[in-house]
């Protein structure tokens, strides 16, 4: 996750140096704590939180739990992990619903913090969980705030109550109160009230928010805080806590390139738990906040549980079984692959998912270079094929490939690469489905005799692949497609765009590092 990128790099480097030592001296511990302190301060974590955190880490690192450990360095990492979990709130705190509907959720925060977008994200998530939320447009101050909420509500598929045009017109307290009554009358079980923000904390903002809270008596008051605003956000949170008070925190823009100090400070400073984290611009980019999982991400230990949860929501178990059957019986087609792409897209950004794997912080550059639009381009090519072509790619001659390339806005080379990668991947998946060990292209045969496939290939005669069409234009097009097939460079995965070299010793070392000893 980009927010903690710099902090994660600094901490990972500190622990890497620590692992070279068999036994830790007090000087080693002090040096490590000093590096952790610098990393946290650079990440804009509040000074009082840094002092408390490093004090606890130092005390525990100098204690018996490290001295008697078989792996002292690993024990220090464990201590830092546990203390990070503590400052992030310890236990996950879920949204609390009222015993009698509707549950009233009031949103507060500065202008630009992401309240309106979060309102739509929360509404969509609650819809998925079987609730019937009503969004209430009580931000009548910011220009076009009411219109924005209506658009977001439509995208989320949620109802909206917006009796006033906004832009300075209307009474937000009355709108909030009437919105709750409307929800009760129309049997909505959750009300989400979007309130006004300001560019800075002021008396008018606090008074308005306080009056709305008094009028609707909300079950939850969620303070939406911009994770990119560093320690300023924590000062704002303190001001809101004193002026209005809130029951929980939402971290917005957690995918931004920021230091992340707000996330690591707000719970310790306010005593209020973080309930949600907004991790992207899409309405599906909202996660329940788990302190232990976030600590693991910061320390580059991965977040496999969140990855599994996302996969479970996106993938249909019965469909997965059918796919496994098709793979084993060599019936897996490009049509099936298109279905798989659709399910993968439901999980969100591929880059984000890969970032949840342990050790991926060490492959940051490769992750940054990963293009999520690659899936869209692959999908465009497959959608440009006929059903018969998807089910049997062997019928794809030069003219068909040229038509597909034009239809998808890609090149014939791109189409050739996709078909080539699909053939290779289908063979590998079939081998795995049958319990075998695949021969990975570019990495040599695995589990078989080296050079066997080369010998077999050497005995095969090259076939003439020239077009026999009587139409000169058609013949030229088909020959161009066939020539591109023969010379198509290898891409990555099912990807397009560019040749990939054979894996180097450094590449293999990275893989070994990722899956081997930490």
- Using a 10 angstrom Cβ sphere, with 0-12 exposed, 13-18 middle and 19 or more buried, the burial of residue 379 is middle
Question: How far, in Å, CA of 288 to CA of 278, rounded?
Answer: 9
pLDDT at 420 over 70: yes
The answer on whether 196 is annotated among ligand-binding residues is yes
Least confident of 19-23, 81-85, 149-153, 349-353: 349-353
pLDDT at 213 over 80: yes
pLDDT at 259 over 90: no
Residues 277 and 151 in one domain: yes
Tell me the per-residue pLDDT of 273-329, one tens digit each, with 9 for 90 and over: 999 988 878 888 898 988 888 888 777 665 445 555 555 555 555 665 665 666 555
- Using a 10 angstrom Cβ sphere, with 0-12 exposed, 13-18 middle and 19 or more buried, the burial of residue 162 is buried
Instruction: Say if 306 falls within a structural domain.
Output: no
Strands (E), 198-332: 220-226, 248-252, 274-278, 286-288
The answer on whether 447 is annotated among ligand-binding residues is no
Query: Residue 164: its pLDDT value, please?
Result: 92
The answer on whether 198 is annotated among ligand-binding residues is yes
Query: Residue 344: its pLDDT value, please?
Result: 66
In the structure, what pLDDT confidence band is assigned to residue 67 with cuts at 50, 70 and 90?
Answer: low
Domain boundary among the residues 54, 87, 120 is at: 87
Question: How far, in Å, CA of 139 to CA of 92, rounded?
Answer: 30
Domain boundary among the residues 301, 330, 359 is at: 301
The answer on whether 254 is annotated among ligand-binding residues is yes
φ and ψ of 192, to 5 deg: -115, 115
Instruction: Say if 166 falls within a structural domain.
Output: yes
The answer on whether 110 is annotated among ligand-binding residues is yes
pLDDT at 1 over 60: no
Top pLDDT among 76 and 262 is at: 76
pLDDT at 181 over 70: yes
Residues 7 and 61 in one domain: yes
Strand, helix or coil for residue 154? helix
Per the structure, how many domains does the chain have?
Answer: 3
Sign of CA dihedral 149, 153, 154, 159: negative
What percentage of the chain exceeds 70 in pLDDT? 67
What percentage of the chain exceeds 90 in pLDDT? 27
| 3-state SS track over 449-470 | CCCHHHHHHHHCCCCCCCCCCC
The answer on whether 55 is annotated among ligand-binding residues is no
The answer on whether 19 is annotated among ligand-binding residues is no
Residues 72 and 115 in one domain: no
In the structure, what pLDDT confidence band is assigned to residue 340 with cuts at 50, 70 and 90?
Answer: confident
pLDDT at 499 over 70: no
The answer on whether 32 is annotated among ligand-binding residues is no
Q: Where residue 269 sits, what CATH number does that domain have?
A: 3.40.50.300
Quote the domain boundaries for residue 68.
2-87
Instruction: Say if 456 falls within a structural domain.
Output: no
Tell me the per-residue pLDDT of 228-258, one tens digit each, with 9 for 90 and over: 766 777 788 888 888 888 999 998 877 655 5
Least confident of 33-37, 289-293, 303-307, 335-339: 303-307
In the structure, what pLDDT confidence band is assigned to residue 103 with cuts at 50, 70 and 90?
Answer: very high
- Looking at residue 474, the DSSP 8-state letter turns out to be H
The answer on whether 455 is annotated among ligand-binding residues is no
Instruction: Say if 461 falls within a structural domain.
Output: no
pLDDT at 165 over 70: yes
Residues 180 and 323 in one domain: no
- Please state the pTM of the whole predicted model: 0.61
Top pLDDT among 148 and 370 is at: 148
Instruction: Say if 42 falls within a structural domain.
Output: yes
Side-chain half-sphere exposure of 339, counting CA atoms within 13 A: 12
Q: Where residue 79 sits, what CATH number does that domain have?
A: 1.20.120.140
Residues 108 and 158 in one domain: yes
Nearest CA-CA partner of 249 in 239, 237, 257: 237
The answer on whether 346 is annotated among ligand-binding residues is no
Residues 251 and 281 in one domain: yes
Residues 379 and 323 in one domain: yes
Residues 71 and 143 in one domain: no
Encode 276-307: b = buried (16+ Cβ within 10 Å), e = exposed. Answer: bbbbbeebbbbbbbbbbbbbbbbbbbbbeebb
Q: Where residue 382 sits, what CATH number does that domain have?
A: 1.10.260.30
The answer on whether 115 is annotated among ligand-binding residues is yes
Residues 331 and 260 in one domain: no
pLDDT at 219 over 90: yes
Distances (CA, A) of 36 to 76, 148, 257: 12, 42, 20
Provide the token pair at 227. 């994770």
List, in sequence order, every residue forming a beta bridge with 502; answer none if it has no partner. Answer: none
Instruction: Say if 351 falls within a structural domain.
Output: yes
The answer on whether 301 is annotated among ligand-binding residues is no
Residues 343 and 475 in one domain: yes
Residues 296 and 318 in one domain: no
The answer on whether 495 is annotated among ligand-binding residues is no
Strands (E), 109-244: 133-138, 159-161, 190-195, 220-226
The answer on whether 116 is annotated among ligand-binding residues is yes
- Looking at residue 248, the DSSP 8-state letter turns out to be E
Instruction: Say if 242 falls within a structural domain.
Output: yes
Query: Residue 352: its pLDDT value, please?
Result: 60
pLDDT at 446 over 90: no
Residues 281 and 408 in one domain: no
Instruction: Say if 200 falls within a structural domain.
Output: yes
The answer on whether 44 is annotated among ligand-binding residues is no
């Amino acid at each position: 996750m980009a927010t903690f990128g710099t902090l994660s790099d600094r901490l990972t480097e500190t622990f890497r140096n620590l692992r070279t030592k068999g036994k830790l001296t007090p000087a080693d511990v002090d040096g490590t704590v000093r590096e952790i302190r610098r990393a946290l301060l650079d990440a804009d974590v509040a000074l009082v939180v840094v002092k408390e955190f490093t004090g606890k880490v130092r005390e525990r690192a100098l204690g018996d739990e490290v001295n008697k450990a078989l792996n002292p360095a690993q024990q220090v990492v464990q201590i830092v992990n546990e203390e990070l979990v503590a400052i992030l709130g310890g236990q996950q705190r879920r949204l609390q619903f009222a015993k009698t509907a509707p549950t009233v959720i009031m949103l507060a925060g500065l202008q630009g913090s992401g309240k309106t977008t979060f309102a739509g994200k929360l509404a969509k998530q609650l819809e998925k969980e079987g609730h019937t939320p009503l969004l209430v447009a009580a931000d009548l101050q910011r220009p076009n705030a009411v219109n924005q909420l209506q658009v977001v509500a439509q995208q989320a598929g949620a109802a909206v109550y917006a009796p006033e045009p906004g832009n300075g017109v209307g009474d937000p307290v009355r709108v909030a109160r009437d919105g709750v009554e409307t929800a009760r009358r129309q049997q909505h079980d959750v009300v989400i009230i979007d309130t006004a923000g300001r560019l800075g904390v002021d008396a008018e903002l606090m008074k308005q928010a306080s009056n709305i809270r008094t009028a609707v008596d909300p079950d939850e008051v969620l303070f939406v805080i911009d994770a990119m605003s560093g320690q300023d956000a924590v000062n704002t949170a303190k001001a809101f806590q004193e002026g209005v008070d809130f029951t929980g925190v939402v971290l917005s823009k957690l995918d931004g390139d920021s230091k992340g100090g707000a996330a690591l400070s707000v719970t310790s400073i306010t005593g209020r738990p973080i309930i949600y984290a907004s991790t992207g611009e899409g309405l599906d980019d909202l996660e329940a906040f788990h302190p232990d999982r976030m600590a693991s991400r910061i320390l580059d230990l991965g977040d496999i549980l969140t990855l599994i949860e996302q996969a479970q929501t996106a993938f249909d178990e019965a469909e997965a079984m059918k796919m496994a059957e098709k793979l084993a019986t060599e019936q897996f087609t490009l049509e099936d692959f298109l279905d798989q792409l659709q399910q993968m897209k439901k999980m969100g950004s591929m880059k984000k998912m890969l970032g949840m794997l342990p050790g991926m912080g060490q492959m940051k550059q490769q992750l940054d270079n990963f293009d999520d639009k690659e899936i869209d381009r692959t999908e465009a090519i497959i959608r440009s094929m006929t059903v018969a072509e998807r089910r049997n790619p062997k019928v794809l001659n030069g003219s068909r490939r040229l038509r597909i390339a034009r239809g998808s806005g890609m090149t014939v080379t791109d189409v050739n690469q996709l078909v080539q990668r699909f053939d290779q991947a289908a063979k590998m998946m079939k081998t795995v489905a049958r319990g075998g060990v695949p021969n990975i292209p570019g990495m040599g045969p695995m589990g078989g005799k080296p050079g066997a496939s080369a010998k077999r290939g050497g005995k095969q005669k090259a076939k003439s692949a020239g077009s026999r069409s009587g139409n000169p234009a058609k013949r030229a097009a088909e020959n161009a497609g066939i020539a591109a097939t023969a010379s198509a460079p290898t891409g990555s995965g099912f990807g397009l765009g560019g040749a990939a070299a054979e894996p180097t010793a450094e590449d293999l070392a990275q893989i070994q590092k990722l899956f081997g000893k930490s």
